Amino acid sequence: MAIPKRKPDDFTTFLQQREAAAAAYVAGDGAPVARIAARHGDATFFPPTGGSVEGAAAVAARYAKDVHAFAPGGTSRLDVLQSQAAGDLAFWTGFQTAHVTINGKPIDMKLRITEIFRLEDDGWKMIHRHADTSAGEKS
């Protein structure tokens, strides 16, 4: 039996799951992000270190590789400035504030974030993440 599609109204609830996945990721647990990452089709990642990654498999592999840089104990908070779901697409923009340990060094991060999601049979999947360190306050 096929899993029914979730309704776009569930995006607000999904954003709570997304925040929990971000918190797990910066503490070294990539499994929650892997569950929401696109597994097929188009996907892109613009990491805070620069460059870009294209294709769902390549993006998922990059997330799986990068999570190993984070030590347990990291914390993260998402500050959503705006979000919207319409049909099979949704997005949120805002800031991610995190305290992490990377390669043994404690780091405070504030990233500007834009993420786009596609509704698939098993829920919302992240098809684009743009994170950069030019995270000034609202003007």
Domains parsed from the chain with CATH numbers: 12-132 (3.10.450.50)
Strand-pair category, 44-46 with 123-132: parallel
pLDDT in the model for residue 97: 96
Enter the pTM of the model: 0.89
pLDDT in tens, 65-89: 999 999 999 999 999 999 999 999 9
The Cα–Cα gap between 70 and 100 comes to 7
pLDDT in the model for residue 136: 55
The Cα–Cα gap between 55 and 86 comes to 23
pLDDT in the model for residue 139: 43
Any idea which residue has 């030019």 for tokens? 134
pLDDT in tens, 11-65: 999 999 999 999 999 999 999 999 999 999 999 999 998 999 999 999 999 999 9
